[in-house]
Structure 1
């Protein structure tokens, strides 16, 4: 994993109780606003006067919304709030901007840390995607399974 992502992950792990995406936002004093958005947009971040709000698509599945919350939170941590709207189809063969890759990598690391290790330790990467309720497009962001289970 990129040392930039790993350093930020360790800081977050030491600062917050990583129990759920919603609890993380409460602890970090970031507002969450569920709104019906177009079918392709999962969420985005708004920052005004140092106050941040993560807007998520209330029409999306609850499990996928958790990843979107962590993706947008990762933009706040890694990129000072710079964000493009999160789209479900990030495309395996298309160019993904560096900041989106970084936000996805940190979001996945946080999401995996929020899972019960006994529940996920025997799952393959594809089973893990199904368990988490997220798309195959995000498979590349799951670290090797021995790193998850240690």
Structure 2
């Protein structure tokens, strides 16, 4: 899927599932969520014997857990055919990949609405202030702003974040 199509896809999923709770969406899709002690990973999506799994680092706070879960749901909806067949704890993501960037855009569009961005930017807040008020990492907000710009908005972005901020 092209990055500029992800927001439209996310809006369709929100209507279909009638929620923006990632745990409810995962349950509706029969995705198994498991918690694990990871050293370096915040989460991982995989398919084992045709059953989808999302592994989350059990040390995440509730805000980061939701962000990571949406990121992994992005892999489920956008890249299921790329999932590995066996769980490997040391299988670190290639953070420069298109798949990671798309999963980040998916998560940003689920967590942050265009309307909330426009409202907060209208108040004259800095991107750091907007991110803090929305309880999202600054990088996630910047991904959202960049996505909105790709769809025709003209928002000032201080820098384009690296796709590995969830690493």
TM-score for both structures, normalised by structure 1: 0.72
- How many residues were matched structurally? 136
Give ranges in structure 1 of 5+ residues lacking alignment: 91-95
- 1:93 equivalent in structure 2: none
- 2:141 equivalent in structure 1: 139
What's the offset of the Cα at 1:132?
A: 4.3
Give the alignment's Cα RMSD to 1 decimal. Answer: 3.1
Distance 1:86 1:55 in 2: 14
Alpha carbons of structure 1 residues 137 and 3: separation in structure 2 relative to 1, 3 Å: closer
Distance 1:16 1:128 in 2: 27
Distance 2:4 2:35 in 1: 32
Alpha carbons of structure 1 residues 128 and 11: separation in structure 2 relative to 1, 3 Å: same
1:76-133 alpha-carbon deviations (Å, 9 max, x no partner): 111115367569xx6xxxxx211111100011101125xxx78x94364323322444
- 2:32 equivalent in structure 1: 31
- 1:105 equivalent in structure 2: 105
Greater gyration radius: 2
Give ranges in structure 2 of 5+ residues lacking alignment: 84-90, 154-167
What's the offset of the Cα at 1:21?
A: 1.6
- 2:86 equivalent in structure 1: none
- 1:60 equivalent in structure 2: 60
1:23-71 alpha-carbon deviations (Å, 9 max, x no partner): 2211222111122211x31010121233111000111222111111000
- 2:23 equivalent in structure 1: 22
TM-score for both structures, normalised by structure 2: 0.66
1:128 to 127, 130, 142: 130
Distance 2:134 2:41 in 1: 19
Q: Is the 8 A contact 1:18 1:110 kept in 2?
A: no
Q: Is the 8 A contact 1:76 1:82 kept in 2?
A: no
